[in-house]
Amino acid sequence: MHGYRAISGALSAWTGSFLDFIRQLDEDGVPYLSFSKINAVESCQQQYLLEYVKRTKFDEPGYYRKGTIFHRAASLAYHQLGNGGLNMKPIERLAQKHFDEEETAHILNAVKLLVDNAPANHELIATEMPFVLSLGSRMPPLIGVIDLLLRKGDTFIVVDHKSGKNLYEQDGFQLHLYREHVQRTFKPQRCRAYFDEYRWVNNLARIRIPAFRRTPVRPKSWATVLGRVQKGLKVMRRIERTGEADGGSGCYFCPVSDVCSKATFEWNTW
């Protein structure tokens, strides 16, 4: 199974989870691209080598799991809102199944912020929507998941959820890729994209700095976006061919840092 058509067909027929689909592609050695792969090779070639080439086993960081559960909670909340109401009980049970009291509060407070800031009078098209994007005959297809897709009139809105201890500057490149899929698939007159960011807080009534931020992502030409993909792919192929990779920075946020011989955790002195 190789190429855009084959992977698209396989994804359409797949009955398991999207994560299991990706794992199956990896086990079968099927080439594909993703924002995560491109981001990894740009941030640290060593991370790409360990995570995607050598398939080094590592413990999933706690913030990965927490983000995953919040995405599930956000999807549930948006579907409830789309049906005209909100029941926090299933969301609370979901959080309590995986987390202690404090982290459960983080999830529930983030969902409250989501509800308070949910766009009004928008039609829900999909949540957690997997897709395959053709990048041309000489490149593997790109696979991703759109967190939230809304429509208002002739305008489609692509939203990506981000969560963490703080609000960070986000890379619009991810949403440029997602917006391209929406434009090709739905052919809307307009397509807008936003990052919705949620900061983990214990008590919404006592916060001093915002715990939610919505950031619009301005469009870029597809040629510019594709050029960045091609540049990343060139480095990936060189790493896969030679087995050699440079180290990078940001080891505190790297999922494979515990098993990486090049990881450094020195404090900045400035």
Q: What does the pLDDT read at residue 268?
A: 43
Q: What does the pLDDT read at residue 269?
A: 38
Q: What does the pLDDT read at residue 61?
A: 75
Which residues lie below 8 Å from residue 107, measured CB to CB, with a gap of 6+?
66, 69, 70, 73, 91, 94, 95, 99
Q: What does the pLDDT read at residue 270?
A: 33
Q: Which domains does the chain have, with CATH numbers?
A: 4-12+21-61+122-245 (3.90.320)
Q: What angle do CA 135, 216, 143 make, to 5 degrees?
A: 25
Tens digits of residue pLDDT in 74-93: 999 999 998 888 999 999 99
Q: What does the pLDDT read at residue 249?
A: 66
The pTM of this model reads 0.91
Q: Which two tokens stand for residue 236?
A: 């990936």
Nearest Cα to 255, choosing from 64, 70, 66? 64
Counting as low any pLDDT under 50, the low residues of the chain are 267-270
Tens digits of residue pLDDT in 195-205: 999 999 999 99
Q: What angle do CA 243, 59, 42 make, to 5 degrees?
A: 40
- At 262, the amino acid letter reads K
